[in-house]
Amino acid sequence: MFFRNETVTIINENVLTTRAVEKDSIDLIVTSPPYNVDIKYNANDDNLSYADYLAFSEEWFSRCLQWLKPDGRFCLNIPLDKNKGGQQHVGADLTKLATALGFHYHSTIVWNEGNISRRTAWGSWLKASAPYVIAPVELILVLYKERWKKTSGSGQSDMNKEEFMEWTNGLWTFPGESKKRIGHPAPFPAELPRRCIKLFSYVDDTVLDPFVGSGTTLVVAHLNQRRGIGIEVDKGYCTLAKERVSLVANQLRLF
Ligand SMILES: C[S@@+](CC[C@H](N)C(=O)[O-])C[C@H]1O[C@@H](n2cnc3c(N)ncnc32)[C@H](O)[C@@H]1O
């Protein structure tokens, strides 16, 4: 165990081998795994062959399936497709893989990320021979373990009418997060876990992020009265996550 307070736990281990999460204990998983786009993380190789990436995904998906409660939900932030090193339909492949393992499909949210990284590849510039088409969006795949209707937990929701109306429209538009501001190579913006947590879980539920990075999911869970568990293989990122969680916890204590 790397860090634990009353509501937040950080586990500095590999998602594939940790034994720190109990079976059937998690209400909601919100996560953004490595995208296999050669990002320079400290501790893991983000440049696997596509077949190895799918095998890795299958392995950690099956662990998540075990960790979820029967009415547990899984919000998976992934790319729509892969454009470098051969075109791949990543979203379609991971959806298929998860449902083949036993997850049930609920829906796909398209995240329209205004400031997605600048285009570098055009294929055949101004020519029809081989142009590249790249959509400036990511997906949030919404899956569940056994049944969609949620019966466990406090039953207490904390979103208002405007939030419910906006978030149940499956096109979400908000900007990405700055790597520099957070000090991590691929953070997601707090708005992403905030919407997932408030739309899909109750107050006091337990939310897991198996690739917690800089701890964004834990910060948002804490701010919204959920318990948070984060797994992260890199110790430096665990330290960053702990610092971010401690900062908001201290700020909340001042009020
Ligand atoms: C896309 S980032 C997640 C960023 C996070 N959402 C945030 O807001 O900071 C993926 C994270 O997964 C971690 N990671 C990669 N392989 C892992 C593994 N096998 N087990 C646990 N963590 C891993 C990386 O170190 C990286 O911090």
Q: Where are the domains of the chain?
A: 3-117+132-253
CA distance 255 to 251: 7
CA distance 25 to 45: 29
| Residue with CA closest to ligand 1 atom 18 | 14
Answer yes or no: is pLDDT of 254 > 70: no
Quickly state the pLDDT bin for 236 (edges 50, 70, 90): very high
Q: What secondary structure does DSSP assign to 70-92, as a single string?
A: EEEEEEEEEES-B-SSS-B-HHH
pLDDT, tens only, 166-222: 999 999 999 999 999 999 999 999 999 999 999 999 999 999 999 999 999 999 999
CA distance 81 to 112: 14
Q: Using alpha carbons only, give the angle 44, 46, 51 rounded to the nearest 5 degrees.
A: 115
Regarding the beta carbon of 220 and ligand 1, being less than 6 Å apart is answered no
Answer yes or no: is pLDDT of 255 > 70: no
Answer yes or no: is pLDDT of 153 > 70: yes
**CATH number 3.40.50.150 is the correct assignment for the domain at 3-117+132-253:** yes
What's the 70 CA to ligand 1 centre distance in angstroms?
25
Contacts of 113 (CB under 8 A, 6+ apart): 136, 137, 138, 174, 175, 176
What's the 128 CA to ligand 1 centre distance in angstroms?
38
What is the average per-residue pLDDT within 30-40?
Answer: 90
What is the reported pLDDT for 211? Answer: 98
Q: Residue 223 carries which side chain, given as an amino acid letter? A: L
How crowded is the C-beta side of 244, counted as CA atoms within 13 Å?
27
Crossing angle of helices 50-67/90-101, nearest 10°?
40
Regarding the beta carbon of 53 and ligand 1, being less than 6 Å apart is answered no
Is the whole model's pTM more than 0.85, yes or no?
Answer: yes
Spatial CA neighbour of 24 closest among 77, 56, 63: 63
What's the 213 CA to ligand 1 centre distance in angstroms?
5
pLDDT, tens only, 58-70: 999 999 999 999 9
Quickly state the pLDDT bin for 38 (edges 50, 70, 90): confident
User: Could you tell which of 14, 18, 35, 44 is best to mutate to test the pocket of ligand 1, judged by most ligand atoms within 8 Å of the CB?
Assistant: 44
Give the chain's mean pLDDT: 94
Answer yes or no: is pLDDT of 48 > 70: yes
CA distance 37 to 50: 10
